[in-house]
Amino acid sequence: MSTGAADPKAEKFELDNGTIRVTLTNYGAAITSLYVPDKHGNVADVVLGFDTIEAYVNDNAPYFGCIVGRVANRIKEGKFNLNGEEYTLPINNGPNSLHGGNKGFDKVVWSVVERKDGEKPSITFKYESHDGEEGYPGDVIVTATYILTSSKTMRLDMEAVPKNKITPINLAQHTYWNLAGHNSGNVLEHLVQISGSQITPVDENSIPTGELLPVKDTAFDFTSEKKVGSSIREVPGLGYDHNYVLDSGEKKEGLKHVAKVKDPSSSRVLNLWTDSPGVQFYTANYVNGVAGKGGAVYEKHSGLCLETQGFPNAINQPNFPSIVVLPGDKYKHSMLFEFSAE
């Protein structure tokens, strides 16, 4: 297996362009802090996370900040068929396989293949996933590049190339946002607008039924800005954990608008753009007394995730956009995070 090169060690890195400062670790290619100013210039760290790499290794059950794969979200009963072969994956979420299995891309050390300073500082992480890893077929080379493209924007470009076998690939960035500051309590007062007029409704095990449900006149309607907490009690279960089908509306840098998030207390705003077909809107329903950065304790709804992605269980749903990638073809997934204050 070894190429002779020493295995990379888990470290922290920083990108700073004078307005946005991001710390990352190559363990899970994760964002560990992200500092942005409010309208008065006050800077806060707006992502949930841990102070030490050890905590990411040992305590990151919520998937704070990391990239998940080989297939993000849930695969029904951890099974799928591809080219006449049945594949079986680890079951780690009720009866399903979640976020790549027991040791997904969030639980490995990626190598650092490029770092750039200057006006557009960036870092590129790379991971080579092998055939049979967590039950998935074929070797896949994955890269993730984080780049501060302007004083207001961070871009993430994820790519994956299967070397020798057809395989499903669906990467997601699992950062938990709290624009008032990671240690400021819950996000129920945050205003959210999602550019998706349908969701993929789910069964009792959080697996999509295959249908598309218009959000109009339901608790899932974020087509216009509204408070996270305004209809959350009407959602079955503990809160939002649903895939929105993104509309192909307004574009920026070739990417479509996903969501706008605003914290009224600080006036910080995040606009997110992507080229993927869906976004999982998740309100940290299962975060419960997690010891975070600087002595903060994160409770339920202490952050929100906007995980752009292929649809959950797409490998078993022929009417969902395909997540299957052929050897030599390239999976691509970009996200643009635009920060402002208003």
| Residue 70 in marked binding region | no
CB 198 within 8 A of CB 244: yes
Spatial CB neighbours of 319, under 8 Å, sequence gap ≥ 6: 210
| Residue 241 in marked binding region | yes
Q: Which is catalytic among the residues 99, 174, 257, 301?
A: 174
Single out the residue of 36, 60, 296 nearest to residue 184, CA to CA: 296
CB 320 within 8 A of CB 208: yes
| Residue 94: φ, ψ to 5° | 60, -130
| Residue 131 in marked binding region | no
| Residue 274 in marked binding region | no
> CA angle at residue 139 from 335 to 336, to 5 degrees?
5
Spatial CB neighbours of 168, under 8 Å, sequence gap ≥ 6: 70, 71, 80, 82, 136, 314, 315, 323, 324, 325
| Residue 143 in marked binding region | no
CB 35 within 8 A of CB 49: no
- In DSSP terms, 122 is beta-bridged to 116, 147
| Residue 301 in marked binding region | no
- 10 Å CB burial of residue 233 (0-12, 13-18, 19+) is exposed
- To the query of whether residue 174 is one of the catalytic residues in this protein, the response is yes
Q: Which is catalytic among the residues 133, 134, 159, 307?
A: 307
- To the query of whether residue 257 is one of the catalytic residues in this protein, the response is no
Spatial CB neighbours of 329, under 8 Å, sequence gap ≥ 6: 161, 162
Give catalytic residues, as residue numbers: 174, 307
Instruction: Cite the annotated binding site for beta-D-galactose by residue number.
Output: 73-74, 174-176, 241
Instruction: Cite the annotated binding site by residue number.
Output: 73-74, 174-176, 241
